[in-house]
Amino acid sequence: MTMVKEMPDEKDELRRELEEIRAIKESLREELEELRRQREAVQADRSESRRRPPRREFPPHEPPHRRAPPRPPHRHRPPHPPEPPPTVIDLESLAESLEDMMTGLGEQIRVAMSSIKPIDIRVRGPPGRRVLSKSRLKRRKAVESIPPERIARVISPLGNVERLRILDYLKDGPKSFNDIESYIGKTGSSLTHHLTPLIDAGYIIKGAVRGTYHITVPGRLAYRLSQWLTSQVEREQTPLEETGKDHSIEEEPDVTDEVNNRGQEPDEPVEDTDDEFELSPDSEEEEDDW
């Protein structure tokens, strides 16, 4: 008996489910029709915008085999959780605490710096990456292989203060023998004793017409390089305390521009460059000019 009573209940239940499915099916069909109409409207707008001939319109009802499958029953999303209350950050108190902390750090650094004594240690930065081309390497090897005899032939005419003063004086322009006499303070053969090595080395020329002395391009270069050599040697020999500053970042006189930019005035400010053996990546071009 119980089985007989349960069967009509199941039938009713199935019937209700079928009714629901039909209702869902109807609603899906309506939605599908609505989507189709929207698509047709969009296509019409596109065709008008492109000024193309209107496309063939599909009939509103498609064959049954082209109909979309029934959509699964709609699932309701869970309700959104309630929004948390807005967080409030007290910026003023945070800024005050940071300020206090920085003040304390500054005091600590000041105390630490006052306790440090100067030490005679030169700190240089990390060495630059030396990427030299073959020609540059070849040139450097050629320079480093110059024997002392050749160096002496170039340097020895400069090894006298009077000769260096003569070169310095002639930088302003050609001078006569009398002018050099009055400037140097040497007369006659003693002055000739200094002029002859400079002429033999090609550092000065004597004009035969008026007897004037001209400093040549090699002479000017040799004097400038002597100045640079002096500055380099003195820099290495001077203790750090006497100069009162870090020599590793000291500005160095540049002679490479004198070598190449011969048109510039010697007193013009020139760009800083490192010397040959303290290369930095930025100074490789200047080093190449050696």
- At 44 the three-state DSSP class reads helix
Could you tell me the smallest distance in angstroms from the CB atom of residue 144 to another protein? Answer: 19
How many residues touch another protein under the rule CB under 8 A: the total is 23
Which x/- pattern over 167-196 shows residues binding another protein (rule: CB under 8 A)? ------xx----------------------
Output the CA–CA distances (angstroms, integers) from residue 112 to 30, 105, 107, in the order listed: 83, 10, 9
Q: Which residue's entry shows tokens 């930019």?
A: 261
Q: What is the total residue count of the chain?
A: 290
Residue 216 CB, shortest distance to another protein, in Å, is: 5
Beta carbon of residue 147, minimum distance to another protein (angstroms, whole number): 24
Distance CA 157, CA 194 (A): 9
- Which of 187, 261, 272, 282 binds another protein (CB under 8 A)? It is 261
Nearest Cα residue to 195 out of 213, 175, 208: 213
Binding mask 201-240 for another protein (x = CB under 8 A): ----xxxxxx---xxxxxxxx-------------------
* Contact yes or no for 260/289 (Cβ under 8 A): yes
Q: Which of 53, 118, 263, 269 binds another protein (CB under 8 A)?
A: 263
Q: What are the tokens at 221?
A: 């270069």
- Pick between residue 207 and residue 281 the one whose CB is nearest to another protein: 207
Query: Shortest distance, CB of residue 262 to another protein, whole angstroms?
Result: 3
The rounded distance, in Å, linking the Cα atoms of 188 and 45 is: 108
* Ramachandran category for residue 100: left, alpha or beta (phi over 0 → left; psi -120 to 50 → alpha): alpha
Nearer to another protein, 194 or 219 (CB): 219
CB of 198 to another protein, least distance (A): 13
**List of residues contacting another protein (CB under 8 A):** 173-174, 205-210, 214-221, 257, 260-264, 289
